[in-house]
Amino acid sequence: MMQLDQKQTIDLLNSIIECELLGVVRYTRYSLIVTGPYRITIVDFLKEQASESLLHAQKVGEILTGLEGRPSLRISSVDEICNHSVKDILAESLAHEEKALGLYKNLLETVSNSSIDLEEFARNMIDEEQMHNLELKKMLSDFTE
Ligand SMILES: [Fe+2]
């Protein structure tokens, strides 16, 4: 076992919290503005994503404070397009989930061989985020243009 890089781990956990909290804002906003024939189903899906992002932020925050880190109160910056068709919302959601997945993969790399618990946690989160990615890809696959 190697020594855990405490600082890098804490910084990464903070980036993840910022990303997950952005997810809360992002999905909540999308759920309010989505229109069209699929609105009801998609609103439920988006609200679920918002709640899950909050749960993830809280979970990651517990780990961060467990490592004696100070949790960030910021959220990641937003880059989004203005045209909000269902397709755009799903595409932006997918981009967001891919970013989150990448952060959890960085976390796994950082903690590998230095903490079994954190390694396990990162793997589980990667698994969960991967499922969201697949789900969004399936939802997007109907839009052909
Ligand atoms: Fe998440």
The pLDDT of residue 81 is 62
Query: 52: CA distance to ligand 1 center in Å?
Result: 7
The pLDDT of residue 118 is 97
Task: Determine the Cα–Cα distance for residues 88 and 21; give it in Å rounded to an integer.
Answer: 20
Model confidence, pTM: 0.92
Query: 123: CA distance to ligand 1 center in Å?
Result: 13
**In the predicted structure, residue 13 carries a pLDDT above the cut 80:** yes
Q: Domains in the chain, ordered, with CATH?
A: 6-140 (1.20.1260.10)
**In the predicted structure, residue 28 carries a pLDDT above the cut 70:** yes
The pLDDT of residue 73 is 79
Sign of CA dihedral 65, 68, 73, 79: negative
The pLDDT of residue 134 is 96
Q: Where are the alpha helices (DSSP H) in the chain?
A: 6-33, 39-66, 86-111, 116-140
The pLDDT of residue 144 is 64
